């Protein structure tokens, strides 16, 4: 079974993924795959430098993700350009991992944790979409604390994503992360144990 786990920035996706891993699922983290795709000397990184200039690299030749983020979260066209470079490559790498998992773990549960699961169209390839939701005010506070952003920067990043209400239309399962970590863990365990037998 392939579960697509998504949610907007600072919603608690990674915490849910961690709980699912503890319950026996295998997890593919799309953000981690995205980092591998842009390693130094990779075709994707060369294309990003051609599009955005060498100023988005650190001195050691690695991608300065913070600098790139500050560019794309302010400019929808730049964000689209970056996604056009990255998404096909990330999708290829993820598809290879999914195929490998299906061969080695028939009947196992694989979770694809991807912030842009719906935007990138990957939701069409999964058996279920699980959406982690959070109150926007709480999301703002978490984002400011976690990423050390100003309220304005945090709001900009939140506004650049598909609204949570829109994502709900695609979700088979909604996990509300409004409470404590133990509340969240209990929800995840209950949903896990309600999955059809045979998984």
Contact 91, 120 (CB under 8 A): yes
Check the annotation: does 44 bind a ligand. Answer: no
The predicted-structure confidence for 15-53, as pLDDT tens digits, reads as follows: 999 999 999 999 999 999 999 999 999 999 999 999 999
For the purposes of burial, counting CB atoms within 10 Å of the CB of 169, is it exposed (0-12), middle (13-18) or buried (19 or more)?
Answer: exposed
Tell me the whole-structure pTM to 2 decimals: 0.88
The alpha helices in 41-175, defined as continuous H runs, are 43-52, 65-72, 76-104, 136-147, 151-159, 164-168
Check the annotation: does 10 bind a ligand. Answer: yes
Class of domain 2-193: alpha beta
Check the annotation: does 12 bind a ligand. Answer: yes
Can you tell me the distance from the alpha carbon of 6 to that of 118, in angstroms, rounded to the nearest whole number?
8
The predicted-structure confidence for 144-184, as pLDDT tens digits, reads as follows: 999 999 999 999 889 888 999 999 999 999 999 999 999 99
Check the annotation: does 198 bind a ligand. Answer: no
* Bridge partner list, 7: 132
Check the annotation: does 14 bind a ligand. Answer: yes
Check the annotation: does 124 bind a ligand. Answer: no
């Amino acid at each position: 079974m392939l579960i697509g786990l998504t949610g907007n920035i600072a919603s608690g996706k990674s915490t849910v993924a961690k709980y699912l891993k503890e319950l026996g699922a295998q997890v593919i983290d799309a953000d981690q795959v995205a980092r591998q795709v842009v390693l130094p000397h990779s075709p994707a990184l060369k294309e990003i430098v051609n599009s955005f200039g060498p100023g988005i690299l650190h001195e050691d030749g690695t991608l300065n993700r913070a600098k790139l983020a500050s560019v794309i979260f302010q400019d929808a066209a730049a964000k689209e350009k970056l996604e056009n470079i990255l998404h096909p490559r990330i999708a290829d790498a993820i598809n290879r991992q999914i195929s490998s998992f299906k061969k080695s773990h028939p009947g196992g549960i694989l979770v694809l944790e991807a912030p842009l699961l719906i935007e990138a169209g990957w939701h069409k390839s999964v058996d279920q979409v699980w959406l982690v939701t959070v109150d926007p005010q709480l999301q703002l506070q978490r984002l400011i604390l976690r990423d050390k952003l100003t309220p304005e920067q945090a709001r900009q990043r939140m506004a650049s994503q598909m609204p949570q209400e829109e994502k709900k239309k695609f979700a088979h399962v909604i996990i509300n992360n409004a409470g404590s970590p133990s509340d969240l863990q209990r929800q995840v365990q209950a949903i896990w144990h309600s999955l059809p037998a045979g998984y």
